Chain A
């Protein structure tokens, strides 16, 4: 079965399950989900949450938005130099989990995070850690390209400027150029660095945002559905870029596209209703999921 391609596996499973009366009789796919829903507490994630030489370690993380328990007891380790994809249906908590990693949830008054998340051994929710420092180490790329309404140059230079990373103009120029180069954008914008960043195409804007993020020289890059607003060609460029960047950074990507997860990531974590259901190497998740919910999702039954 492992040797089967993804699509064939899905087809095979679907056909296989057709024969089971409990599923063939279902009216909506959701019904089977409720039956399988894990208990609120003490759910044990299937697969391998641990990894070799972890860089980010999340232990028993719970997130509440007011009364809403958005993330339930999630434990996950993330290593450097690899891409991990967080997948799952809408509202499953994958974006919330991602935003815990650079404390972007801080700005939401009602959000409360418990448990422990460490970055290179340091508790990122400890009182002595300023989120400013954390976010300089953990960069983020958002779903919709959001360049500042400034010039291309100023967009990339903003992070180094506020953190005082460059001593003089020449150094700053250098950072801007290398960042644009690494984001694969330099060739296209070399001659118009002083034009507004908002004038670029969607794919270029997203690469500009990536350049802006790596200009700060972070250790981790979080990507929240970075390609969902882009066409397939721009998406392919960004995916190539992720591949290159993974040599230097730990990359955590939230995606709705399972093809994308399969293409770019080495590990995949599947979230469902706030639970981390299953974590494993990418090909294992897609070809041989251990949990029923994961299987339903990757075969297109839910989500």
Chain B
């Protein structure tokens, strides 16, 4: 049509340049926005890994530990109450530096090994009583500051009164490095230990188990309740003013700040029902309430998205409402419902504010063995470590974030696989 009329064709062509310019500008805006996003994502991961990766390795001191009979078994039998394992470790270190004699210097030297050394020696003799009377080469954890110096996180060039290690201590550390007594090993403690005041002994296990228990409770409660509520609201509830009111309230609940749920948990579960505080049980209940609205909304959307023609076909064949739901609607809605549940779970995993209100922010050394033991959660542990003054906790904070993200990734991966499986059946 345009080519048929020379004047309008000329106009179209005249405006073409402007249109193309606009298109290019629009595209470059989009590209720029994407690049900004990618930049920050990369920067985030880079700083996180740069800071946190070193926490996965840990410095150990190689010592010849003497399991002397007079120190461990004065009566011929192993006497764990009598034995001073710390002093055994300290003695082993001092044999490397025979020139250190003054009380002060000895105390400074002792600070180079972790208090964990004594625990380790104790554990090895309990597990292997044959060691009694022998001298064994063992690698015991070095103090956090030694580790920091080795990793370069403590600057030896600053004046001695501004760093946590004295010149003398640095000299000893150098000597240990020189004779190969300082070794870096994989930091197993980070994964198997609970929290600790000593950074070199602190681990994520307690928080990991706390988070795991809470998520199990959350998924076990929130998914069935949310799915059932969504099915009822979508399929059975008559559409009236009450239904509208409920819908508005559910949507509002999804936007309520999470700390409010923490207050609710404190008031209802702890103060009224009397569940012990700091327990993953309470945390799981609170997180269930928190994720319920998200799950209900997603499940309702998934149910709504099932084509009405499928329902009609089933109804037309004489299927009852239950049969239509369970044979057709739910199987088709399940992938969408699962996605909603995973979004809810991811949110629950990263939530810390409500946990602060129910006492899950405490310093808890023991790894929880059940849902009623005191525990922390991963994000809370990150917060606690970030708040600690010791330098070595800085890298552990980043490491904990990496672990949290890994946990999240694993969860989402599981969800994707599950979703695929459910979808393939149809």
Give the one of A146, A150, A163 with max B CB within 10 A: A146
Contact of B6 with A by CB under 8 A: no
A140 to B311 alpha-carbon distance, docked (Å): 13
Taken residue by residue from 301 to 325, chain B's Cβ proximity to chain A (1 for < 8 Å, 0 otherwise) reads as: 0000001011111111111100100
* B332 on interface, CB distance cutoff 8 Å: yes
Q: Which residues of B contact A142 (CB under 8 A)?
A: 309, 312-313, 316
Contact A213 B319 (CB under 8 A): no
Please tell me which one of the listed residues B238, B313, B315, B318 contacts residue A148 in the complex, with CB atoms under 8 A apart: B313
Asked if B134 is an interface residue, CB under 8 A from chain A, the answer is no
Judge whether B309 and A139 touch: CB under 8 Å: no
| Contact yes or no, B318 A136, CB < 8 A | yes
A139 touches B317 (CB 8 A): yes
B318's partner among A144, A150, A159, A209 (CB-CB below 8 A) is A159
Say how far A99's CB is from chain B's closest CB, in angstroms.
10
Contact partner of A135 (CB less than 8 A), chosen from B238, B311, B318, is: B318
Contacts of A35 in B (CB 8 A): none
Q: Is A104 an interface residue (CB 8 A)?
A: yes
A158 to B328 alpha-carbon distance, docked (Å): 11
Residue of B309, B315, B318, B328 most packed against chain A (CB within 10 A): B318
**Contacts A144-B309, A148-B328 hold; do A162 and B319 have CB atoms under 8 A apart?**
yes
Q: Is the CB of A148 within 8 A of B310?
A: yes
Task: Give the Cβ gap from B121 to chain A, nearest Cβ, in Å.
Answer: 65
Q: Looking at B238, B307, B317, B328, which has the most chain A CB atoms within 10 Å of its CB? A: B317
Q: How far is the CA of A102 from the CA of B315 in the complex (A)?
A: 10
Q: Smallest CB-CB separation from A143: which chain B residue? A: B309
Q: A212 contacts the other chain (Cβ, under 8 Å)? A: yes
Distance in angstroms from B128 CB to nearest chain A CB is 61
How many residues of B sit at the interface, in one of the four size bands?
20 to 34
Residues in A whose Cβ lies below 8 Å from that of B18: none
Is A129 an interface residue, CB under 8 A from the partner?
no
Answer whether residue B20 sits at the interface, using C-beta atoms and an 8 A cutoff: no
Indicate if the CB atoms of B332 and A159 lie closer than 8 Å: no
Contact present for A146 and B312 (CB under 8 Å): yes
Q: Which residues of B contact A136 (CB under 8 A)?
A: 317-318
| A157 nearest CB across to chain B (Å) | 11
B318 neighbours in A (Cβ, 8 Å): 131-136, 159, 162-163, 216
C-alpha gap A146/B307 in the complex (Å): 9
Is B426 interfacial (CB 8 A cutoff)?
yes
Residue A231 at the B interface, CB < 8 A?
no
Q: Which of B238, B307, B316, B426 contacts A140 (CB 8 A)?
A: B316
Q: Which of A190-221 contact B (CB under 8 A)?
A: 209, 212-213, 216
Assess the A162–B310 pair: CB atoms within 8 A.
no
What is the bound-complex CA distance between A150 and B425, given in angstroms? 9
Cβ-based interface call for B103 (8 A): no
Given contacts A144-B309, A146-B309, contact A159 B317 (CB under 8 A): yes
Q: Which residues from A are CB-within-8-Å of B11?
A: none
> Whole-angstrom distance from the CB of B303 to the nearest CB of chain A?
15
Which of A107, A149, A150, A216 is B317 in contact with, Cβ under 8 Å? A216
- By beta carbon, the residue of chain B nearest A107 is B315
Contact yes or no, B239 A104, CB < 8 A:
no
| Bound CA span A162–B316, Å | 12
What B residues does A147 contact at CB under 8 A?
Answer: 313
In the complex, which residues of chain B have a beta carbon less than 8 angstroms from the beta carbon of A212? Answer: 313, 317
A67 at the interface (CB under 8 A from B): no
- In the assembled complex, A109 has its CB within 8 A of some CB on chain B: yes
Q: How far is the CA of A132 from the CA of B312 in the complex (A)?
A: 13
Chain A residues lying within 8 Å of B314, measured Cβ to Cβ, are 148, 158
Q: Within A136-188, which residues are at the interface with B (CB < 8 Å)?
A: 136, 139-140, 142, 144, 146-150, 158-159, 162-163
Interface pair A135/B309, CB less than 8 Å apart = no
Residues of B within 8 A of A132 (CB): 318-320
Q: Would A109 and B320 count as touching, CB distance under 8 A?
A: no
Q: Complex: how many Å from CA A133 to CA B238?
A: 24
Across the interface, name the chain B residue whose C-beta is closest to A196: B426
Pairwise interchain contact B316-A102, C-beta atoms closer than 8 A: yes
Nearest residue, chain A, Cβ from B316: A140
Q: Are B313 and A149 in contact (CB under 8 A)?
A: no
A142 to B309, CA, bound (A): 8
- Give the Cβ gap from B336 to chain A, nearest Cβ, in Å: 14
A139 with B319: CB separation less than 8 A: no
Question: Which of A133, A139, A140, A213 has most chain B Cβ within 10 Å?
Answer: A140
- Is A158 in contact with B317, judged by CB distance below 8 angstroms? yes
B419 CB to nearest chain A CB (Å): 16
In angstroms, how far is the closest chain A Cβ from the Cβ of B422? 12
CB distance from B288 to the nearest CB of A (A): 32
Distance in Å from the Cβ of A297 to the closest Cβ of chain B? Answer: 28
**B426 & A149 in contact (Cβ 8 Å cutoff):** yes
Name which residue of chain B comes closest to A146, CB basis: B309
Chain B residues contacting A148 (CB-CB under 8 Å) are 310, 313-314, 328
Distance in angstroms between the alpha carbons of A133 and B310 in the assembled complex? 19
B328 surroundings in chain A (CB, below 8 A): 148
Cα–Cα, bound, A149→B320 (Å): 19
Which chain B residues lie closer than 8 Å to A150 at the CB level?
A: 426
Rounded to whole Å, the gap between the CB of A31 and the closest CB of chain B is: 33
Find chain A residues with CB under 8 A from B327 CB: 158, 162
List the A side residues contacting B426 at CB < 8 Å: 149-150
- B-chain residues with CB within 8 Å of residue A135 when the two chains form the complex: 315-318
* Known A109-B238, A142-B309, A148-B310; contact A104-B332, beta-carbon cutoff 8 A: no
In whole angstroms, how far apart are the Cα atoms of A163 and B328 in the complex?
A: 16
B102 CB, nearest partner CB in chain A, Å: 83
How far apart are B316's CB and chain A's nearest CB, in angstroms? 4
Q: Is A104 touching B317 in the complex (CB atoms < 8 A)?
A: no
Within residues 5 to 30 of chain B, which ones have a CB less than 8 A from any CB in chain A?
none
Listed by A's residue number, 16 A-B pairs whose Cβ atoms lie within 8 Å are A102-B316, A131-B318, A132-B319, A133-B318, A135-B316, A136-B317, A136-B318, A140-B316, A142-B316, A146-B310, A147-B313, A149-B426, A162-B323, A162-B327, A209-B313, A216-B317
Q: Which 8 A-B pairs have the closest CB atoms?
A: A135-B318, A146-B309, A140-B316, A136-B318, A159-B317, A146-B313, A149-B426, A132-B318
Interfacial residues, chain A to chain B (CB-CB below 8 A)? 102, 104, 107, 109, 131-136, 139-140, 142, 144, 146-150, 158-159, 162-163, 209, 212-213, 216
Given A136-B317, A212-B313, 17 more pairs with CB closer than 8 A: A104-B315, A109-B239, A132-B319, A132-B320, A133-B318, A134-B318, A135-B316, A140-B312, A142-B309, A144-B309, A146-B307, A146-B309, A148-B310, A149-B332, A158-B327, A159-B317, A213-B317
